């Protein structure tokens, strides 16, 4: 593993090697499941088991009519059911939840759209009955995140493709379970990371892949969202319990996923290692006391994670759901020829000659020290609009879901299944983007020590060159 000495040295300066009882090399090295190599925590990577095959660019047999079962139809799940009523070539066969009112609301969505009512499943274990049916192709999972893996594994074991809400997994072991099960069963396991389909993110990724920004050297992502209004009302208070009981970046994928797509992670590039730091539990501890009666909170108010890639790029990811500050889902790329930024404002900076001919309005002068004008930005986003948006943007904005990106995500999932194409996101994306939860915690709990990021492709990360959104 290549180490950037300056990066490592800075991390070491900040490290306090007495955190929660595991501090010295001897302590860490004796801990089951990982060792210390050149000062870096390296977790064991299981070998690919018998009967497992790589899922890179995997395409299943076409499914002209995709039969869907929904597990978890509260806030996110019910919104998904509503969006599915606007898709062609699907049948909603089953609705599974622990609350009858949620099922009733979704049944009304179906009948209002002229669709047949779905079979109902209610109870802690009823998702298994749904997964065991022979007339379902896809299980769509929007349960609390602590249940994601259990449902996903059971579904794949029973021959179903899986679409699972973010994060797909919590622990590193769970990430490997998803990878291994997907490889063995030859079933898709797609994480429902909607932000890669956002109009700014997808356009910017297209620009990056066409070289508009030159070589990308640095990227930043974030999920900063004061969840004050949302702490109450989750089923059995799962959201508060999860945040109080865990440390690290607990919701990394919105800020991290689009960056990984732009940097072609496991498609000619890979993540090497990370270092995390967090603040004290101040507002987070108050949330725990107010909404759950927790006397102890593991989550700091603000967590920062720094990542180094194989191509020597740096990535900075922030997480904060406790502080009174404006919503910020940062997406930022710094390249040798340009710059992209979303939140608090969206904008681009370009150098002369970085854009293809005919894009800029006549007489445009570019400023490398500031954002391009709104006129230039509009012209550029139109010229580099991703083909997916060219196809579905108008309908997506009508259907909605976070401005339309949720519908684009669902549309692409069903389109690829119907046409027997590789999905836009594979199980390795699900594992890579989700593993920041457990790996950031490992870094924090060991004095901000660097942690190696596993290669979930098991050496295949360089076999594909560049992200591809497949079409028939």
CATH number reported for the structural domain that contains residue 259 in this entry: 3.30.360.10
What pLDDT is attached to residue 235? 82
What pLDDT is attached to residue 233? 77
CATH number reported for the structural domain that contains residue 79 in this entry: 3.40.50.720
Same domain flag for 431 and 298 = yes
What pLDDT is attached to residue 76? 95
Distance (Å, rounded) from C-alpha 408 to C-alpha 198?
8
Same domain flag for 317 and 246 = yes
What is the Cβ-side half-sphere exposure of residue 467, based on CA atoms within 13 angstroms? Answer: 26
Same domain flag for 150 and 3 = no
Same domain flag for 2 and 105 = no
Same domain flag for 83 and 132 = yes
**Contacts of 455 by beta carbon, 8 Å cutoff, 6+ apart:** 45, 266, 270, 461
Same domain flag for 76 and 54 = no
Continuous segment of H or E residues that includes residue 452: strand 451-452
Same domain flag for 244 and 316 = yes
What pLDDT is attached to residue 32? 65
Continuous segment of H or E residues that includes residue 276: strand 271-278
Q: Quick one: tokens of 65?
A: 């009519």
Same domain flag for 10 and 109 = no
178 belongs to a structural domain: no
Same domain flag for 385 and 249 = yes
Secondary structure (3-state) at 297: coil
Same domain flag for 217 and 329 = yes
What pLDDT is attached to residue 401? 96
pLDDT in tens, 84-95: 999 999 999 999
- Beta-sheet strand order (sheet of 216-224): 34-37, 40-43, 451-452, 271-278, 303-309, 314-320, 216-224, 331-335, 338-342, 347-350
Among the candidates 145, 165, 185, a domain finishes at: 165
99 belongs to a structural domain: yes
405 belongs to a structural domain: no
What pLDDT is attached to residue 27? 35
334 belongs to a structural domain: yes
417 belongs to a structural domain: no
Dihedral of the CA atoms 221, 224, 424, 349 (nearest 10)? -40
| Residue segments in the chain with a per-residue pLDDT below the cut of 50 | 1-31
Q: Domain containing 153: what range?
A: 66-165
Same domain flag for 71 and 45 = no
Continuous segment of H or E residues that includes residue 433: helix 427-434
pLDDT in tens, 401-428: 999 999 999 999 999 999 999 999 999 9
* Domain total in the chain: 2
**Contacts of 150 by beta carbon, 8 Å cutoff, 6+ apart:** none
Bond prior to 199 in cis (omega within 30° of 0): no
- Judge whether 162 and 156 are in contact, CB under 8 Å: yes
What pLDDT is attached to residue 362? 85
């Amino acid at each position: 593993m290549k180490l950037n000495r300056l990066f490592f040295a800075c991390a070491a300066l900040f490290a306090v090697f007495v955190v929660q009882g595991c501090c010295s090399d001897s302590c860490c090295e004796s801990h089951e499941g990982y060792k210390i190599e050149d000062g870096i925590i390296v977790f064991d990577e299981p070998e690919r088991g018998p009967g497992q095959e790589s899922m890179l660019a995997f395409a299943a047999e076409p499914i002209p009519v995709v039969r869907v079962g929904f597990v978890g139809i509260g806030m996110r799940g019910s919104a998904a059911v509503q969006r599915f009523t606007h898709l062609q070539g699907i049948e909603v066969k089953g609705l599974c939840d622990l609350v009858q009112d949620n099922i009733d609301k979704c049944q009304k969505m179906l009948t209002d759209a002229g669709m047949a009512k779905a079979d109902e499943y209610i109870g802690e274990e009823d998702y298994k009955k749904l997964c065991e049916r022979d007339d379902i192709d896809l299980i769509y999972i929007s349960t609390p995140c602590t249940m994601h893996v259990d449902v996903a594994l059971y579904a794949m074991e029973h021959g179903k493709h899986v679409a699972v809400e973010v994060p797909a997994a919590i622990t590193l072991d769970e990430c490997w379970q998803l990878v291994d099960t997907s490889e063995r069963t030859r079933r898709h396991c797609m994480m429902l990371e909607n932000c890669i389909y956002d109009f700014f993110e997808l356009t910017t990724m297209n620009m990056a892949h066409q070289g508009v920004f030159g070589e990308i050297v640095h990227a930043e992502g974030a999920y900063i969202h004061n969840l004050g209004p949302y702490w109450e009302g989750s089923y059995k208070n799962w959201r508060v319990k999860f945040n109080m009981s865990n440390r690290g970046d607990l919701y990394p994928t919105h800020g991290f996923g689009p960056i990984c797509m732009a940097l072609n992670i496991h498609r000619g590039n890979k993540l090497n290692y990370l270092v995390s730091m967090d603040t004290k539990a101040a507002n987070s501890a108050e949330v725990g006391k107010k909404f759950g009666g927790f006397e102890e909170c593991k989550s700091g108010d603000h967590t920062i994670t720094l990542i180094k890639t194989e191509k020597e790029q740096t990535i900075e990811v922030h997480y904060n759901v406790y502080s009174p500050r404006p919503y910020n889902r940062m997406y930022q790329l710094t390249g040798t020829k340009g710059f992209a930024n979303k939140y608090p404002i969206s904008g681009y900076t370009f150098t002369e000659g970085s854009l293809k001919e005919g894009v800029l309005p006549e007489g445009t002068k570019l400023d490398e020290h500031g954002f391009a004008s709104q006129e230039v930005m509009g012209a550029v986003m139109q010229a580099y609009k991703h083909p997916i948006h060219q196809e579905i943007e108008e309908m997506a904005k009508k259907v909605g879901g976070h401005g339309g990106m949720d519908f684009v995500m669902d549309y692409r999932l069903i389109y690829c299944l119907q046409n027997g194409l590789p999905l836009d996101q594979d199980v390795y994306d699900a594992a890579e983007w989700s593993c920041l939860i457990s790996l950031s915690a490992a870094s924090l709990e060991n004095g901000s020590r660097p942690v190696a990021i596993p290669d979930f492709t098991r050496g295949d990360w360089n076999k594909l060159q560049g992200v591809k959104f497949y079409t028939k």
